[in-house]
């Protein structure tokens, strides 16, 4: 998922400093897409974050930007931020927050998921949306490792809430959407030992080129350790 976004006419674009510019061309939502997005928002709205999970995140120096899925959905609604599918120049990007030339922001989901309407896929879409909504909340285009960690915690908190609500719903989901996103981070945050080696390596690999922290998301010890790994 991308962090910052800048605009490129006529398509939306996002910039990744190391990997170059990623272009996103928005598509018009059809009935199926509206259905998936509305369902995903409904599920996100019902996602309650476990208090102990939040404390655990904080103990690692990670600060979730929202305390529940409902808060994220309310933010999107209050700010009138639309959700669309788009053709990404990089097929590995699940979603991003794009800004057009007028400054309007859009949560863009990779068009390869535009017909993904099974229940686990809808939940995965909700998780992609909550991450980008976390980025939107900053109302700027700065990026940092800490900012990614904070927003990734939203994916994890939402995912764990869905697992509680719908036990086994993600069982057998092995496509890229799950292996490289939805199912990966909950494992890295919670299961790979206390030194968090797996999490550090993954975040360093994806975001290690960014600064460790920024003015809205000061770097934690974890973010600094990831930055060190990322610059080796």
Work out how close the CB of 32 gets to Zn ion at its nearest, in angstroms, rounded to a whole number.
26
- 123 or 128: whose CB is closer to Zn ion? 128
Strand locations in the chain (E): 6-7, 12-16, 20-26, 83-88, 95-99, 105-110
Binding of residue 109 to Zn ion (CB under 5 A): no
What's the CA gap between 168 and 215, in Å, rounded?
Answer: 40
Running DSSP on this structure, what letter comes out for residue 175? S
- 144 or 151: whose CB is closer to Zn ion? 151
Sorted by sequence, the CB contacts under 8 Å of residue 141 that are 6+ apart come out as 4, 5, 6, 99
In terms of DSSP bridges, do strands 105-110 and 83-88 run parallel, antiparallel, or are they unpaired? parallel
Work out how close the CB of 36 gets to Zn ion at its nearest, in angstroms, rounded to a whole number.
21
Which of 40, 156, 159, 182 has its CA nearest to residue 107? 40
Stretches 2-10, 103-111, 166-174, 180-188: which one binds Zn ion (CB under 5 A)? 2-10
Binding of residue 108 to Zn ion (CB under 5 A): no
Binding of residue 3 to Zn ion (CB under 5 A): yes
Work out how close the CB of 145 gets to Zn ion at its nearest, in angstroms, rounded to a whole number.
10
Q: Virtual CA dihedral for 198, 144, 14, 30, nearest 10 degrees?
A: 60
- Site track for Zn ion across 110-149, x = CB under 5 A: --------------------------------------x-
- 117 or 178: whose CB is closer to Zn ion? 178
Question: Are residues 3 and 147 in contact, defined by beta-carbon separation less than 8 angstroms?
Answer: yes
- 21 or 119: whose CB is closer to Zn ion? 21
> ω before 50 within 30° of 0 (cis)?
no
Residue nearest to Zn ion (CB): 1
What's the CA gap between 161 and 180, in Å, rounded?
Answer: 19
Work out how close the CB of 135 gets to Zn ion at its nearest, in angstroms, rounded to a whole number.
6
Binding of residue 1 to Zn ion (CB under 5 A): yes
Footprint of Zn ion on residues 142-161 (CB under 5 A)? Answer: 148, 151
Work out how close the CB of 100 gets to Zn ion at its nearest, in angstroms, rounded to a whole number.
19
Handedness of CA 140, 96, 34, 66 (dihedral sign): negative
Question: Are residues 199 and 192 in contact, defined by beta-carbon separation less than 8 angstroms?
Answer: yes
Binding of residue 219 to Zn ion (CB under 5 A): no
- 7 or 151: whose CB is closer to Zn ion? 151
Chain residues that interact with Zn ion, rule: CB under 5 A: 1, 3, 148, 151
């Amino acid at each position: 998922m991308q962090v910052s976004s800048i605009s490129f006419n006529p398509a939306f674009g996002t910039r990744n400093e190391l990997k170059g510019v990623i272009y996103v061309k928005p598509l018009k939502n059809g009935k199926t897409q509206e259905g998936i997005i509305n369902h995903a928002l409904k599920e996100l709205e019902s996602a309650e974050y476990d208090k102990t999970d939040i404390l655990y995140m904080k103990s690692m120096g990670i600060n979730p930007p929202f305390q529940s899925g409902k808060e994220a959905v309310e933010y999107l609604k209050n700010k009138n931020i639309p959700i669309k599918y788009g053709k990404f120049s990089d097929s590995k990007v699940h979603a991003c927050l794009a800004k057009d030339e007028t400054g309007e922001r859009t949560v863009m989901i990779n068009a390869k998921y535009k017909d993904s309407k099974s229940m686990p896929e809808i939940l995965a879409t909700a998780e992609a949306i909550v991450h980008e909504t976390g980025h939107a909340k900053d109302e700027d285009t700065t990026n940092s490792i800490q900012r990614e960690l904070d927003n990734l915690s939203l994916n994890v908190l939402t995912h764990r809430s869905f697992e509680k609500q719908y036990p086994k719903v993600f069982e057998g989901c092995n496509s890229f959407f799950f292996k490289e996103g939805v199912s990966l981070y909950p494992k890295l945050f919670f299961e790979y030992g206390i030194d968090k080696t797996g999490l550090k390596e993954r975040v360093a690999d994806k975001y290690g080129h960014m600064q460790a922290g920024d003015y809205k998301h000061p770097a934690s010890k974890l973010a600094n350790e990831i930055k060190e790994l990322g610059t080796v």
